[in-house]
Structure 1
Amino acid sequence: MLDKLDFLLALAKERHFGRAAEECGVTQPTLSAGVKQLEDMLGVRLVERGSRFHGFTPEGERTLEWARRIVGDARAMRQDIDALKRGVVGHLRIAVIPTALPMAPQLTTPYRARHPDVRFTILSSTSLNIGIALDNLEIDAGITYLDNEPLGRVSAVPIWREGYRLLTAADGALGDRDRVTWREVGRVPLCLLTPDMQNRRIVENLLREAGSAPAPTLESNSTVALFAHVRTGAWASVMPQSFGETMGLPANVRSIPIVEPEVVHTVGLVVPHRDPMTPATKALVSEAKSLAARIEATRAAKSLV
């Protein structure tokens, strides 16, 4: 039955019979027959069929919820038993919002030092797609905003509080300032993340509240592309404080605090809400808590200077 539930999950991900079959490593007739057998077993129609995939029936949507739970638990059981024999091993797939990517090594590097038999795949993703991918068992964890938009059914570990900075050329607009307001930020040529990114939605709301109409002259889903454009001196951008601190800024680029208001958001780790967790995920949660403690200790030490 598990293989048929896997077929259903692949169909939910790909929304196409052929691509779902390829994802599962079977032929399309095999996948279609497996889904039909599941329908016969449950006595209901799960998929709206035509010349192509048209979606799930209400019964199919409910079955999909159970499939995620059952397949997730089965995978967790196998990993848990395997860990009894070999320790923490396996493959962790972590999706990260673009602005948090520079911080990812602070989580994965100490983790791998403790568990050298675990390998990682780090993916850049929107916050919305992180939630979808967790539901569909496509990833094991995500690093995203925790306090701005709904997260869904996850377990969350706050790691750091994120403030915002104007990245601009030292000799460019506002480049000689110690701090700037959101209203002032709205008056300079900006390059920002694309609208599907939560960071963009946060920035746009703050600019609107300050009386500015967001009108970036360049958009990208890559923070690397935005940073490269800022370095030319022709653009400015709004980035998290940690971005400049982690990536390092060239001499001609400044990171200036944005105030009025001075806004912070919490970024952290999200994992599927499951008890017990897989050993690899449990270790990741523990590492995230340790990282949060280190960041807080550093912040407290700086405040005493």
Structure 2
Amino acid sequence: MIDKLEMFMVLAREQHFGHAAEHCGVTQPTLSSALRQLEDHLGVVLVKRGSRYQGLTPEGERVLEWARHIVGSTRSMRDEMRAMRFGLTGQVQIAVIPTALSMVHELTTPFREKHPDVSFAVLSRTSTEIQALLDNLQIDAGITYIDNEPLGRVTSIPLYLERYHLVTSNLEDFANRDSITWREAAQLPLCLLTPDMQNRRIIDQHLDAAGAKVSATLESDSMIALFTHVQTGNWASIMPEKMVESFGMRDRVKSMPIIEPDATHTVGLITAKREPATPVVSALLKEAKLLSELAPA
């Protein structure tokens, strides 16, 4: 039953019979047979029939929720039994919004010092992708915004407040400035993250609230690409304060807070809401509480 539920989850995620079969390491007829057996066992039709994948039936959508719960709980049980025998081992997968990548080492380094048999895979993903990866049991945790756009069923630990700075290499033009308004920033040739990134949507919201309309002259899904363009002197950018600090190079770029308003958004660690949590997730949540700049005094 578990293996059939896992195949069903993969099909729902891939939305393509051939791709799902390849991901599961089986032939397409084997995948189709497993799905028919699952439907016979449950007494409902899960997938809309056709020459191609056409989506899940209403019953299929509901079974998908149960499948995630059952498969997730089964994996949690296996992980806990393995941890009881060997301690925490294996690879921990964390998906992170690009603007928070510079601080991930603050979590992974002390974690691995306590659990040396654990390795990490750190993935750069959008906030929407992080939620989907959690829902589909493809990652252990995510680092994303937790106070701006709705999250699914997650456990969250706030880590820090993201503040926004204008970054420019035109040092002479801004030598006497300690801050800049959102409206003023909009007048500059800006390079920004792409619209699928929540950071970009946040920046657009604040610019719009300030009555400023902006059309970025360059967009990228890479903070490094934005920073290198700023260094040319032909662009400015709006970046989180922590990200600017990680780049250093204070002698070559100027960073100043953006005010009116002095906006902040909370970035935190999220995990799928499941009780009991896996041992590795429990350990991550504990480490995140120790790291949090926003923990109660």
TM-score (norm 1): 0.94
Q: Is structure 2 residue 67 aligned with structure 1 residue 67?
A: yes
C-alpha displacement of 1:173: 5.2
- Give the number of aligned pairs: 296
C-alpha displacement of 1:246: 2.0
C-alpha displacement of 1:220: 0.5
Q: What secondary structure is seen at the aligned counterpart in 1 of 2:46?
A: coil
C-alpha displacement of 1:22: 1.2
Q: What secondary structure is seen at the aligned counterpart in 2 of 1:92?
A: strand
Which stretch shifts more, 125-134 or 59-68?
A: 125-134
> CA RMSD, aligned part only?
1.4
Question: What is the letter of the counterpart of residue 264 of structure 1?
Answer: T
1:1-305 to structure 2, matched below 5 A, reads 1-171=1-171, 174=174, 176-292=176-292, 295=293
Q: What secondary structure is seen at the aligned counterpart in 1 of 2:215?
A: coil
Quick check: 2:158–2:294 contact (8 Å CA) kept in 1?
no
Structure 2 unmatched runs, 5+: none
In 2, Cα distance between the equivalents of 1:190 and 1:121? 32
Percent identity, please. Answer: 57
Quick check: 1:46–1:60 contact (8 Å CA) kept in 2?
yes
Question: What is the letter of the counterpart of residue 105 of structure 1?
Answer: H
Judging changes above 3 Å, is the alpha-carbon distance between structure 1 residues 152 and 32 closer, same or farther for their aligned structure 2 residues? same
Judging changes above 3 Å, is the alpha-carbon distance between structure 1 residues 123 and 262 closer, same or farther for their aligned structure 2 residues? same
In 2, Cα distance between the equivalents of 1:134 and 1:11? 16
In 1, Cα distance between the equivalents of 2:176 and 2:18? 57
Quick check: 1:142–1:270 contact (8 Å CA) kept in 2?
yes
Judging changes above 3 Å, is the alpha-carbon distance between structure 1 residues 172 and 143 closer, same or farther for their aligned structure 2 residues? farther
Quick check: 1:180–1:256 contact (8 Å CA) kept in 2?
yes
Which stretch shifts more, 125-134 or 243-252?
A: 243-252
Structure 1 moving runs of 4+ over 2 Å: 170-176
Structure 1 unmatched runs, 5+: 301-305
Quick check: 1:167–1:238 contact (8 Å CA) kept in 2?
yes
Question: What is the letter of the counterpart of residue 275 of structure 1?
Answer: E
Quick check: 1:91–1:119 contact (8 Å CA) kept in 2?
yes
Quick check: 1:170–1:176 contact (8 Å CA) kept in 2?
no
In 2, Cα distance between the equivalents of 1:172 and 1:73? 59
Question: What is the letter of the counterpart of residue 212 of structure 1?
Answer: A
C-alpha displacement of 1:139: 1.0
Quick check: 2:189–2:217 contact (8 Å CA) kept in 1?
yes
In 2, Cα distance between the equivalents of 1:129 and 1:82? 29
In 2, Cα distance between the equivalents of 1:276 and 1:296? 25
Quick check: 2:95–2:123 contact (8 Å CA) kept in 1?
yes
C-alpha displacement of 1:170: 3.8
In 2, Cα distance between the equivalents of 1:209 and 1:174? 24
Question: What is the letter of the counterpart of residue 77 of structure 1?
Answer: M
Which digits, 9 at most, give the CA deviation of each residue in 1:45-89, with x for residues without a partner? 100121110100000000000000000000000000000001111
In 1, Cα distance between the equivalents of 2:287 and 2:173? 41
C-alpha displacement of 1:244: 1.3
Quick check: 1:168–1:175 contact (8 Å CA) kept in 2?
no
Quick check: 1:90–1:280 contact (8 Å CA) kept in 2?
no
Which digits, 9 at most, give the CA deviation of each residue in 1:188-213, with x for residues without a partner? 00000000111001100111111111
C-alpha displacement of 1:251: 1.6
Judging changes above 3 Å, is the alpha-carbon distance between structure 1 residues 126 and 11 closer, same or farther for their aligned structure 2 residues? same
In 2, Cα distance between the equivalents of 1:296 and 1:200? 24
C-alpha displacement of 1:174: 3.9
